[in-house]
Amino acid sequence: MLKLLGARQLGGRDTSQVLRVLETDPVAACMVAARVQQSGLDPRVLQGEMWSRGGPAESLCFAGANLIPLLGDVDDLRAFADRASRFPRMCSSLVGRAELTLPLWDVLESEWGSAREIRSEQPLLALDVRPKVRPDPHVRQVRMGEIDMYLPAAIAMFIEEVGIDPQASDGGRSYRRRVANLISSGRAWARFEDGQVVYKAEVGSMSAAVGQIQGVWVDPARRGEGLGAAGTAAVAQAVMARGRVASLYVNSYNERARRAYARVGFSQVATFATVLLD
């Protein structure tokens, strides 16, 4: 049986079956589904590989800048860990459903060493009805000419959320390109006041069914005013206007953010976990 051979890399002929599997879990699989729908399974275009042990309907894992287990049992996760540990580590994190991500990390930790941080409980939220709070009418898509105003807020969010400075490795050139790509594709949103960003968020992944919101940030001096809830309601409404479910995931300990998202009307559909690596 194929399963005895361990995890293998999938190819173009597997694309339709992979997409059918991803469609069965659209919110949790959004990050990967968006890539496969756009790029297929060519690793050069996908910027990663799709692995399976026994076929996509039985097990599935994406390996790129993030290692994302999508489907499988304990033996499948061991096979993914074995394949990942055979080569120099390329990913900076593991992320996905907690019931898959944490057992996968349990196997990999002995090979890769301790994680920088493990966020074991991150509610995955979704919204497909009108927000319960009034969307902020001042939150809009960021224009390319505004990148220099937007970038400091994006950097501040990244440092606060991830714990490292995205400018550290190359002076910020790669991070600026990443932000510029989000702006140029119409997926960066903000409220500007006097040339400063007081609220920001991005739609990090947009599949055919789901838009995943990320990088939500409010100027620390303006927190407690409701900007987070109203701003996120505006972004979620824009996602839903394009026929998608709005989604995001949040750290369980971030009580302020969780209350804000609950006020908007988001409900929990699963639990994610993230393992941050050095």
Local structure of residue 5 (DSSP, 8 states): G
pLDDT, position 2:
42
d(CA 130, CA 217): 22
Mean pLDDT computed over 253-275: 97
pLDDT digits (tens, 9 = 90+) for 204-256: 999 999 999 999 999 999 999 999 999 999 999 999 999 999 999 999 999 99
d(CA 70, CA 225): 38
Q: Quick count: other Cβ atoms within 10 Å of Cβ 194?
A: 5
More confident residue, 1 or 46: 46
Task: Look over the chain and give the mean of its residue pLDDT values, rounded to a whole number.
Answer: 96
Domain boundaries, the chain: 2-113, 140-270
Q: Does domain 140-270 have CATH number 3.40.630.30?
A: yes
Confidence of residue 169 (pLDDT cuts 50, 70, 90): confident
CA dihedral 14, 41, 110, 30 (to 10 degrees): -100
Question: Residue 267 above 50 pLDDT?
Answer: yes
Question: Residue 1 above 80 pLDDT?
Answer: no
Strands of the chain, DSSP E: 8-9, 48-52, 60-64, 66-71, 93-97, 117-127, 140-141, 188-193, 196-206, 210-218, 245-249, 267-276
Q: Quick count: other Cβ atoms within 10 Å of Cβ 166?
A: 19
pLDDT digits (tens, 9 = 90+) for 71-110: 999 999 999 999 999 989 999 999 999 999 999 999 999 9
| Residue 245 backbone phi and psi in degrees, to 5 | -80, 135
Question: Residue 4 above 70 pLDDT?
Answer: no
